[in-house]
């Protein structure tokens, strides 16, 4: 089983069986995919702009380049802002709700990846030979724990994977005598079914309560051929008090096929993005922007975020497990692609949103002076070694005693941020914000493998949005 499939399964089962996970002890700044920062000293323009600062589409320069360093309340921590001029675009508040994945969505993806809607039901009705291969593969993985560690699993995760494989082997053996000799898959009838329909073959047990919980998720899964490889398209919908889930995934049966450890991708980054840009037009409507690109061996990973009214939307992790009554329980919308050389081996659309209404007038924004002061007030209080991920039990031994830590703000951009409407279950609004992002550094250490969103300020009222909680 591939790591992503394992992680998705474990998230589903853990959420259902053991309840919500605890909210991270670190402040929201430490959520690496959540907040993104830059540091600088600031020379700030007046909030009033002249006609020369406004473009034809209404975009205004609300601040000249900023260069400023100021200290946090925590000793040894400073915020260094070095950002270019800041622009703002007049936009309205947009109201939305989660969009359920439809049969038509699955058919559209089938046409895009398989070239046809003539596909098979995705239930894992394994043949005897497939069961034998599955047992052998899992047994080899159990006997090679070090390979799991090398793939990126922690010690605890590796133990969980091994136990999962042992349970799967037990269930596979139990189904062997009744398994079919040849592949007799049926054409899909394009019907969403309770999730257990696609899972019990390998994960069967006698806990009916567990399956009752899992079956609150409706799934539609199909199998087809893509680039000569067996591949799946899987859609899931769930709207319960614990969390919402609306995802549409495409993936090769063997996502590691063709991965060459230590090699580089055969496509340039620009070529890979061009390929996913074209595929995206086949998969969805709307406008998208590349948010993040990274490579691993001969693979490219590309993440897209939606754009509303020419303004990109904030992407972040979400805290499913928060006990906060107002917290959102729905991931932020995104589409992720994985390419192995010149082949798209997986695509995943999380939490598509549908617009329900848009306010007639553009929102009235605070002056940037007020926005920037809200940012400074927040960072002075909340920016700590712990929130920056730099806390250590023994600073002397780690060589960081007395070494100043910085949250470096290198970009300040206007973005939409999706926030949950209070006292509602599934209503959201996109509000204009200013996002202060960059990287963390201390001494010789510089965080250069991701961008942190350190502070998201609501541009209408100046409040700080906690993207981990979704409001």
pLDDT digits (tens, 9 = 90+) for 245-277: 999 999 998 888 888 888 999 999 999 999 999
Q: For residue range 402-453, what is the model confidence (pLDDT) as tens digits?
A: 899 999 999 999 999 999 998 877 899 999 999 999 999 999 889 877 789 9
Give pLDDT, residue 189: 95
Give pLDDT, residue 209: 64
Alpha carbons 33 and 450: distance in angstroms, whole number: 8
Alpha carbons 115 and 107: distance in angstroms, whole number: 10
Whether residue 31 has pLDDT greater than 90: no
Q: Lowest mean pLDDT: which of 22-31, 158-167, 179-188, 393-402?
A: 22-31
Confidence class for position 388, pLDDT limits 50, 70, 90 = very high
Residue 117's alpha-carbon distances to 221, 324, 372, 433, in angstroms, are: 13, 43, 52, 41
Higher pLDDT, 108 or 324: 108
Give pLDDT, residue 435: 98
Give pLDDT, residue 41: 33
| Averaged pLDDT of the chain | 84
Give pLDDT, residue 114: 96
Whether residue 32 has pLDDT greater than 50: no
Neighbours of 278 (CB within 10 A): 9
Higher pLDDT, 300 or 43: 300
> Which pairing describes strands 405-420 and 427-442: parallel, antiparallel, or unpaired?
antiparallel
- Short-list 467, 345, 354, 376, CA closest to 416: 467
Mean pLDDT for 37-65 is 56
Whether residue 28 has pLDDT greater than 50: no
Higher pLDDT, 125 or 197: 197
Whether residue 137 has pLDDT greater than 90: no
Alpha carbons 242 and 11: distance in angstroms, whole number: 12
Whether residue 160 has pLDDT greater than 50: yes
Neighbours of 390 (CB within 10 A): 24
Give pLDDT, residue 321: 67
Higher pLDDT, 194 or 21: 194
Give pLDDT, residue 255: 80
Give pLDDT, residue 12: 39
Confidence class for position 34, pLDDT limits 50, 70, 90 = very low
Give pLDDT, residue 200: 56
- Short-list 246, 303, 272, CA closest to 106: 246
Give pLDDT, residue 437: 96
Give pLDDT, residue 47: 37
Does the predicted TM-score (pTM) go above 0.95? no
CB 63 within 8 A of CB 57: no
Alpha carbons 354 and 100: distance in angstroms, whole number: 9
Whether residue 40 has pLDDT greater than 90: no
- In the chain, the percentage of residues whose pLDDT exceeds 70 is 84
Whether residue 92 has pLDDT greater than 50: yes
């Amino acid at each position: 089983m591939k790591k992503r499939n394992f992680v998705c399964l474990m998230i589903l089962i853990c959420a259902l069986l053991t309840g919500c996970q605890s909210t991270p002890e670190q402040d929201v700044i430490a959520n690496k995919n959540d907040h993104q920062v830059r540091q600088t000293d600031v020379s700030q323009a007046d909030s009033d702009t002249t006609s020369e600062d406004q473009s034809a589409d209404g975009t205004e320069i609300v601040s000249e380049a900023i260069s400023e360093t100021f200290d946090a309340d925590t000793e040894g921590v400073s915020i260094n802002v070095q950002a270019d001029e800041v622009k703002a675009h007049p936009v309205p508040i947009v109201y939305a709700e989660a969009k359920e994945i439809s049969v038509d969505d699955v058919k559209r993806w089938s046409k895009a990846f398989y070239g046809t809607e003539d596909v098979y039901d995705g239930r894992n009705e394994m043949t005897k030979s497939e069961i034998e291969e599955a047992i052998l593969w899992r047994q080899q993985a159990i006997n090679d724990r070090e390979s799991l560690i090398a793939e990126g699993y922690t010690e605890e995760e590796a133990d969980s994977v091994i136990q999962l494989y042992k349970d799967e082997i037990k269930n596979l053996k139990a189904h062997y005598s009744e398994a079919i000799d040849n592949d007799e898959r049926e054409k899909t009838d394009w019907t969403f079914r309770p999730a257990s329909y696609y899972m019990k073959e390998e994960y069967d047990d006698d806990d009916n309560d567990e399956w009752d919980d899992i079956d609150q998720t409706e799934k539609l899964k199909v199998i087809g051929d893509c680039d000569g490889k067996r591949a799946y398209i899987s859609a899931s919908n769930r709207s319960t008090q614990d969390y919402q889930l609306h995802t549409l995934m495409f993936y090769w049966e063997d996502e590691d096929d063709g991965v060459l450890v230590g090699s580089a991708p055969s496509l340039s980054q620009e070529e890979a993005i061009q390929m996913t840009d074209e595929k995206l037009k086949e998969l969805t409507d709307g406008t998208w922007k590349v948010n993040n690109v990274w490579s691993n061996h001969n693979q490219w990973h590309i993440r897209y975020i939606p754009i509303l009214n020419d303004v990109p939307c904030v992407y972040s992790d979400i805290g499913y497990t928060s006990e906060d009554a107002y917290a959102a329980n729905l991931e932020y919308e995104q589409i992720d692609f994985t390419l192995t050389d010149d082949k798209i081996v997986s695509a995943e659309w999380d939490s598509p949103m549908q617009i329900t209404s848009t306010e007639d007038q553009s929102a009235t924004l605070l002056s940037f002076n007020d926005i920037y002061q809200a940012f400074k007030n927040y960072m002075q209080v909340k920016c700590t070694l712990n929130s920056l991920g730099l806390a250590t039990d023994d600073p002397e031994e780690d060589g960081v005693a007395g070494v100043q830590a910085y949250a470096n703000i290198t970009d300040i951009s206007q973005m939409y941020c999706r926030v949950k409407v209070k006292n509602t279950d599934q209503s959201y609004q996109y509000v204009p914000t200013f996002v202060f992002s960059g990287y963390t550094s201390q001494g010789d250490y510089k965080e250069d493998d991701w961008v942190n969103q350190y502070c998201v300020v609501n541009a209408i009222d100046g409040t700080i949005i906690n993207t981990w909680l979704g409001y």
